[in-house]
Structure 1
Amino acid sequence: MPRSVPGRSARRNPAAPLVSVLACSAILLCPLAAHGSVSVLQPPRVIDATGPLTLTLLVTGDQDLRRYAVPESLDVTASGDLAAPARMTLKRVGTGPAILNLRRGENRTINYRGEWPEGLRGQVRLDIIGIDAAPVLITLNRAPGETPATVTAPVVAGAPAAPKASAPAATSAPPAGNAPPVTPVVSAASPSAPVPAPADLRDAQRLSFNDPMYILFGAHDGANAKFQISFKFRIYEGKDPGSKRFIDNLYFAYTQFSLWDLHSPSKPFEDTNYRPSLYYYLSDTGVKNSVISRLSIASGFEHESNGRGGTDSRSINTLFVKPTMYFGDQNDWHWRVAPKVYAYLEKSENEDIAHYRGYMDLNLAYGRPDSWEFAATLRKGTQKTYGSVDAQVTYPLARLVPGTAGYLMLGYFYGYGESLINYNQKTPWQVRLGYALSR
């Protein structure tokens, strides 16, 4: 069967070029209907990073006629294992029509190419921004000569073999009549619509980060350190990953925080706080408008204590609600505002803790996934000027030392209650420097 050639009608009708121009103008001025689907062809599992990355889009028509505006470039988020995401821009290879007109079952491939970020290596997840296609997982090898230079493969992730996509320009496959496409594909989004990358990988796995994990060292009023470990675990995974049911989004989390006195001869721990919690959590509620680009919500029960007895014992039980609002493109510079509002269920060992801590932790952050982030948690007690400021500045360590993970972190604390043992004492200001696994 001869291949479908776009523009054939232009050779039959002298007036067709003018009609085509007017039709394209109308298409560009009006949103294109998403009547088909877009997939990403899976590159080789191991890629040679000494050469450029080539990704291939497979566009398939799934109705009698489908129009698709081909973007001239693709923005891609490349996320290394435990590393900050990096932004890549891939340019279209060769030339081809700006608008694809596809019949049902007909498909086209378009190639895009770009250079790898310098510090990226190891296992990498590739997310195309603006196109609702499944992410691609590859292993990046920077040792020259160890892997083939080619990075294009004719296999769709998780699907049977598809037509090869070696041609630089858009190519076509024969129509499949009324048969459905043979590859599992997803509906295309507007190429310019901002689609967030996985939020610093915090929610990408069943076991994931919760609060920041770090270790910091300082020396004001005696050498000291503080460190924190924190993780969360999704207890039950239902059949629908997008489900909002309570049982499908129930998490157990555990956070442990310690203050370490490095000035005293025996180097004792000044205090250690243990904070288990059980809560409902939606990473993305679907709420989005011209102001808020994403809204997360968490709500549940939390216990916090220092595990001591007698007069040094401290503990509280709370119920909390924590919405997290994102403002701006999450792949670029953006704001994050997360007020954690709580009510005390039990605080008999420290009845006046609300005087110093209040009823809300307000977390504010401004940053970019692959660059600086400036964050602070503010507390205001119900009495006098009691409260605290806990601020951090972080920067991806891989930007400084390629091949590393985590962040260089500078922390500042001033106010009351850095730990439970001294919740009613104003401690000297502290500036500490260290390392964070997550922020």
Structure 2
Amino acid sequence: MTKIYSTLLLLIISVSLVAQEDIILMNNDTIRQQYDEAMQDPRIFKPRHFEMTENEAIKLADRLPSFAVYRDTYFVTGIPLNEEITNKSADASFQVSIRQRLTKSVLPFKTFAYLTYTQKSFWDIYGESSPFRDTNYNPGLGLGKYIFHNKKLVGAAFAQIKHESNGKDGEDSRSWNYLSLSMKYYFNARFNLSGEFWIPYVDGDNNQDLLDYKGLGFISINYVSYKHKWWLSAEVNPRKGFGNINTVLTASYR
């Protein structure tokens, strides 16, 4: 049996920005003091929530810029070190993801409306004429709400209607519509747990296998170090079939 070993050199350029749900913890003197104390606490596995009223959090959140980064925004490419660089052995991928808040927290149950848009492209930059091999488009419209318990901010909940497709029609079309339900839970200033579950509607005979590799949701554990130097994340995406799990580990430093 012949074994082939391939070595890749990867270049990753990413933008890591604090989510708007996290920024509200740093825009009030009293809350900022709680946040700083929690970040300096060496007991990183101790549960610790932030004391504030719901109205305080809503006022802070509504003053934030309505435009923000949504998912990861990055550019990544890789080249082999032990073979010729071609469009078969190397390519590039990038993602752009944004969120635009449409209203303040004035809707029923003190929710707010927002739009999201994520675009992910696979680019044969090492091939002749550097064509785009594939692009996925993922717009969404949703409602969000901050969650409180005993006058402490414990998380946020979101519901969205989303569409995802490759922008093609006919036999080349790959698209689906789905309801996305997600939540973020603040364990403390450094750790948070987030999850998303989607209820799909797949239209067309050619798209019935989408959920085999998309799964029905994901759970992630996220960590940020003191002074936000290190960002670590572990995401688990169960898919169809026993033991078929996609795991993504992310680390960034600034």
TM bucket by the smaller chain? 0.5 to 0.7
Secondary structure of the 2:241 match is coil
Post-superposition CA distance 1:261-313 (Å, at most 9, x none): 2332232212111111011112x222369xx9631111121000010123321
- Residue 29 of structure 2 aligns with an amino acid whose one-letter code is I
Q: Is the 8 A contact 2:17 2:69 kept in 1?
A: no
Match of 1:318 in 2: 178
- Whole-angstrom CA distance in 2 between matches of 1:275 and 1:347: 16
Are 1:358 and 2:221 counterparts? no
Match of 1:234 in 2: 101
- Whole-angstrom CA distance in 2 between matches of 1:366 and 1:347: 38
- Of Structure 1 and Structure 2, the greater helix share is in 2
Match of 2:13 in 1: none
TM-aligned CA deviation for residue 387 of structure 1: 3.8
How do 1:143-182 residues align onto structure 2 when only pairs under 5 Å count? none
Max Rg structure = 1
Are 1:308 and 2:168 counterparts? yes
The percent identity for this pair of structures is 23
TM-aligned CA deviation for residue 323 of structure 1: 0.6
Q: Is the 8 A contact 1:131 1:195 kept in 2?
A: no
Q: Is the 8 A contact 1:321 1:342 kept in 2?
A: yes
Secondary structure of the 1:264 match is coil
Secondary structure of the 1:285 match is strand
Are 1:286 and 2:148 counterparts? yes
User: Number of aligned pairs?
Assistant: 202
How do 1:217-296 residues align onto structure 2 when only pairs under 5 Å count? 217-219=77-79, 222-237=89-104, 241=105, 243=106, 245=108, 249-282=112-145, 284-287=146-149, 294-296=154-156
Are 1:128 and 2:29 counterparts? yes
- Whole-angstrom CA distance in 2 between matches of 1:338 and 1:212: 14
How do 1:13-52 residues align onto structure 2 when only pairs under 5 Å count? none
- Residue 378 of structure 1 aligns with an amino acid whose one-letter code is V
- Whole-angstrom CA distance in 2 between matches of 1:338 and 1:84: 14
**Which ranges of structure 1 fall in alignment gaps of 5 or more residues?**
1-81, 86-124, 133-192, 397-439
- Residue 230 of structure 1 aligns with an amino acid whose one-letter code is S
- Whole-angstrom CA distance in 1 between matches of 2:122 and 2:248: 14
Q: Is the 8 A contact 1:84 1:370 kept in 2?
A: no
Q: 1:364 to 1:312 in 2, by over 3 A?
A: farther
- Whole-angstrom CA distance in 2 between matches of 1:262 and 1:317: 31
Q: Is the 8 A contact 1:301 1:318 kept in 2?
A: yes
Q: CA RMSD in A?
A: 3.3
Q: Is the 8 A contact 1:210 1:231 kept in 2?
A: yes
TM-aligned CA deviation for residue 353 of structure 1: 1.9
Q: Is the 8 A contact 2:147 2:153 kept in 1?
A: no
Q: 1:204 to 1:218 in 2, by over 3 A?
A: farther
Secondary structure of the 2:148 match is coil
Are 1:298 and 2:158 counterparts? yes
Match of 1:378 in 2: 236
